[in-house]
Structure 1
Amino acid sequence: MNHTNAAQDILLRKDQDGVVYLTLNRPDKFNTLSETMLTALQSELETIACDAAVRCVVVAANGRGFCAGHDLKEMHSNPDKAYYQALFSRCSRVMLGLVELPVPVIAKVHGMATAAGCQLVASCDLAIASRSASFAVSGINAGLFCSTPAVALSRCVSPKRAFSMLVSGDFIDADTALDWGLVSDVCEAIELDAAVDKQVAKILSKSPAAVRYGKSMFHAQRQMSMADAYDYAGSIMADNMMHADAQEGVDAFLNKRQPVWQAPGH
């Protein structure tokens, strides 16, 4: 099933076997996060969050690059502090929406991902990049420190490496991004589709309930003290153990058979 967004197909959606594929479709502008693009993304994320049948989300892009960040031309034509605050707030809601989705989100990255585009990659749970991909938070080159991208970046990359990227504006290549923790896997461009499909298949092979328990727990505990995180994780794990899928999974393991998971939403 295919859906297209009302905003002149600026964001494409395809649903297949419990997976939602969202494709940034502004290739002539390197898929910049214009107001329209951000609105379209937020709308889709809100819809996906309420859909118990969704198992995974893949964020991809058309054209030569993944995403060049905010639309600087649009920003330059609106020199108003209230406008900028509203724009960055809208972008932050989109990034938080990715983190707060109850299912894993995979960024499928080719070409360049810069500034808020790099933030988009960092906000996804997993990121699989073509070896030719490159990453930067280069606002500093235009006199603008990438403050909001820094929030997501500094939660993936060590503080000194993140700050080095932010204060220099330098690009890093895909292998460096993998080494630093910004992406989870790198492959040749010709293998990108297959690599994403393989990761999606792994997620779909697991218990839908367990994946949802895990996604919410993983991000929540990162903001807690270690003691609080253990208390919270123990409570979530106990809830998970009471779910029929955990009982089925343990029984299947003990009896050396393949488990049969409940359908999503149960």
Structure 2
Amino acid sequence: MGVSTSRPETAVAVVTVDFPPVNALPVRGWYDLAAAVRAAGSDPGVHCVLLAAAGRGFNAGVDLKEIQRSPGHRALLGANHGCAAAFSAVYDCEVPVVAAVQGFCLGGGVGLVGNADAIVASDDAAFGLPELDRGALGAATHLSRLVPQHLMRTLYYTSRTVTAWELHRHGAVWRVVPRGELPGAAMELAREIAAKDGTLLRMAKAAINGIDPVDVRRSYRYEQSFTFEAGLSGVADRHRDAFVQGGAGKERQP
């Protein structure tokens, strides 16, 4: 359990997240993920990082139970900073990052894949931001990188999810494959990228980030200020308590 890194192929590093039962990451998990991605990208022998997850879903966001059982705002601040660190690690990774997404990809999961360079998804994958139902805000920055502006707003306000096939139609997902074929399909793309010259890949990643029209780090940090404001106002606690206590329907775990 936790975050692990493997090298199944010479120039590809696979960073795998495994936090049962639904990959809702605790504060430490976000920081561990950030460190693993940074370390993999800084290895001169690695030309591509493949970000994957064990279990039935890719990522369910932050561990709200950890936040609710922690006194004061320590865990909330930790989750805010930890998510920012992990998202930035993916975006700033020295080499391209391919995300392999299965099942649910919610909240912080959208933050990760929205900052990735390419996405391969299983045909059961669903992406969304249930933030308003969880008393939080954030990652609209990253959802905006996956879908057009008005669709992002509709998804955000309604907490609805969008399928992998829909994202494929919008050009955000490279391939959609049966779940059993996901590891192989993601590795196939990572292998193709990793076959390029490592020095040129690093230059390309820096160049593409440099022409990005939106500063994803600053934009996300601006969003997070409202998450903390919601926490201070008390409205966030009401929604998180309902979720942790197993409220009906949308308040349940994926």
Distance 1:92 1:219 in 2: 17
Q: Which runs of 5+ in 1 are unaligned?
A: 1-8, 225-266
Query: Which residue of structure 2 aligns with residue 207 of structure 1?
Result: 197
Q: Does the Cα contact within 8 Å between 1:121 and 1:127 map onto a contact in 2?
A: yes
Query: Which residue of structure 2 aligns with residue 96 of structure 1?
Result: 88
Question: Helix, strand or coil for the counterpart of 1:157?
Answer: coil
Query: Which residue of structure 2 aligns with residue 69 of structure 1?
Result: 61
Match of 1:111 among 89, 97, 103: 103
Dislocated runs of 4+, deviation >4 Å:
none
Distance 1:207 1:103 in 2: 11
Range that drifts further, 56-65 or 33-42: 33-42
Higher relative contact order (CA 8 A, sep 6+): 2
The equivalences for 1:154-165 within 5 A come to: 154-165=144-155
Q: Does the Cα contact within 8 Å between 1:56 and 1:203 map onto a contact in 2?
A: yes
Q: Does the Cα contact within 8 Å between 2:128 and 2:162 map onto a contact in 1?
A: yes
Q: Which runs of 5+ in 2 are unaligned?
A: 215-254
Q: Does the Cα contact within 8 Å between 2:165 and 2:176 map onto a contact in 1?
A: yes
Is 1:173 the counterpart of 2:163? The answer is: yes
Query: Which residue of structure 2 aligns with residue 120 of structure 1?
Result: 112
Q: How far has the Cα of 1:198 moved from its partner?
A: 1.7
Structure ID, larger Rg: 1
Distance 1:219 1:81 in 2: 33
Distance 1:80 1:164 in 2: 33
Q: How far has the Cα of 1:169 moved from its partner?
A: 0.4
Distance 1:85 1:26 in 2: 20
Q: Which amino acid aligns with 1:159?
A: Q
The equivalences for 1:177-256 within 5 A come to: 177-223=167-213
Distance 2:39 2:102 in 1: 26
Q: Does the Cα contact within 8 Å between 1:11 and 1:41 map onto a contact in 2?
A: yes
Matched residue pairs, number?
A: 213
Distance 1:46 1:142 in 2: 29
Q: Does the Cα contact within 8 Å between 1:154 and 1:162 map onto a contact in 2?
A: yes
Query: Which residue of structure 1 aligns with residue 17 of structure 2?
Result: 24
Distance 2:200 2:61 in 1: 34
**TM-score, with normalisation over the residues of structure 1?**
0.75
Q: How far has the Cα of 1:39 moved from its partner?
A: 2.0
Match of 2:35 among 33, 38, 43: 43
Q: Does the Cα contact within 8 Å between 2:31 and 2:85 map onto a contact in 1?
A: no
